[in-house]
Chain A
Amino acid sequence: MIIEDFEQIKNNFYPVIIVGSGPAGISLALKLERKKISSLIIEAGKEKYDLDSQQFYESIVIGDSISNLKHSRLRQVGGTSGHWGGWCKPMDKFNISSWGLNFNEISKYSEETCNILGIENNFNKSKLNDYFNQIQFQYSRVRFAKKFRNTINKSKYINLVTNAHVTHFSGKNGVIESVCIKNNDKKYFLKSKLFVLGCGGVENSRVLLWTRELNNNLIKKNIPLGNYWMTHPWIIGGIGVIKKDKISKLLKDKFINYDGPLHIATSKNLILEKKISGGAIYMNANEDIKIYKEVIKDLLCVAPKYGKKIAKKIFGKSLKCGNIFMNLEEEANENNKITLHENIKDKNGVPISKVFYKKLDKTLFSAKTILKELGKFLIDNNIGRIAIKKEIENLETYENIGVYHHMGGTRIGDNLNTSVVDTNLKVHDTKNLYVVGSSVFRSSGYSNPTYTIVQLSLRLADEINKKLT
């Protein structure tokens, strides 16, 4: 059921309250429904995009510039899935080795995750050499609001209230008793057994920070709340030509042949040997013709004989030519963090987010190393040639064209000094407060986060089921 007026439900009791109706919140509620557990999803935004509601995402960034946090997220039913790119891939096993989780604990939810995201559970990986793999993403067209609206509206177990702004949690001795909600200028306190915070990679930290500010006995001072915030730097690392047919010959039946960009990712071996962060490079399925021609022209100038051979294949299906895009992993850094602004508050009286963000040298060193090694691999196997941006390691000119993936801030782990939630996603030293979403990521990997977000939500549903039964 979808409700707009909070008055209708203020006296109801729901055993699980979920804050946020993005991929994390909806996936969780859908699985709880299958277990016949009632939940209330509280969405701050409306059913459709609303400029006034979006104003609540106003934030200040200190340090290096990132994409505007007011526009890169959506405050509406379905959350940011309303405008996401749709690229999906599970994180690599070694990406989550520091999380305190066994990889199987989340990979067992792959089939269910794919059903929700409307994609095939097919993420092939073919070894190109010791350093690189050809990898496969799946492309999801799912907008959560559109796909699940009717299901939620008809559901006996899922209730969704819109335009309800969660400001903080209240309780004592680690027990959350209620969540404070503002709706149409009225304030409500709603009680429940379990509370799940799932409103995004910035807001999760913000709500918890404000809760701690109001009641520092509820959430411990020593946990690194808001810290280790990360994003996925997305850069153009260079240009180049890659003969797809040569990769096909090399990999034989293991070649991943699908329409879409050519994706090549770093292996664990390369990351460990060169002491770098990971990353994936991709070359577009259909590159801009102008750039395509420029690259061929440049190659004809630097290596005319080789360039002529390549020029014969121009616009052929087997030739990938143009910009080399890179999805990079960003190392978790304690100084990249979300805090509350000292003076500026939103209309509900909650301080806006103040994000400290500094680009890391290691990210660019990694990008350069990845491209250098890729260049060697392409030469050795006569697959192509690439050119690395001369200024690739210059932090001043480093242009991050991404920063739409917000991760960390409430990171997972066993240690109270270095993490906020335990491996069951429960906030340390609380009895009934959980966090779900990319804010719990302890490392970012290079894969887009939504797939892992859904996996974690499904796992949390099982945990909640155990707890309630």
Chain B
Amino acid sequence: MNKLRRKLFKFSIIQFLALFISTKSFSIDEKDKNIWDYKTREFKGFIWQLDKKDK
């Protein structure tokens, strides 16, 4: 019974770490991704700040 409890405990720690690391790395990716999300276009003396997807 104790063995089972220990195993479950270890498993929950690993699960927590996996979740924590994946969330962290995802947030870093999101931040970096933002840099490439924008574009600019000059028109009549103004620099328009646009979304990369703007057409």
Contacts and interface: CB of A to CB of B under 8 A. Distances in A.
A378 B47 CA distance: 15
Given A305-B54, A380-B34, A388 B43 contact: no
A303 B34 contact: no
Q: Which secondary structure dominates where chain A touches chain B?
A: helix
Interface in B3-55: 34, 37-38, 41-51, 54-55
A298 B44 CA distance: 8
Given A302-B41, A380-B34, A387 B54 contact: no
A376 B43 CA distance: 18
Interface residues of A, number: 24
Nearest to A304: B55
Q: Which secondary structure dominates where chain B touches chain A?
A: strand
A379 B50 contact: yes
A387 B46 contact: yes
Contacts, number: 62
B53 to A, nearest CB: 9
A441 to B, nearest CB: 33
A389 B54 CA distance: 20
Contact of B54 (A298, A371, A385, A390): A385
B32 to A, nearest CB: 14
B48 A303 contact: yes
Interface residues of B, number: 16
A387 B49 CA distance: 6
A160 B55 CA distance: 66
Contact of B46 (A238, A304, A305, A306): A238
A162 to B, nearest CB: 50
A371 B46 CA distance: 12
A379 B45 contact: no
Interface string A281-311: 0000000000000000011011111100000
B35 to A, nearest CB: 10
Given A387-B43, A387-B47, 14 more contacts: A298-B48, A302-B41, A305-B55, A306-B51, A371-B49, A380-B37, A385-B51, A387-B46, A387-B49, A388-B46, A389-B45, A390-B45, A390-B46, A390-B47
6 contacts: A298-B43, A371-B49, A379-B51, A387-B48, A390-B42, A390-B45
Interface of A: 238-239, 298-299, 301-306, 371-372, 375-376, 378-380, 385-391
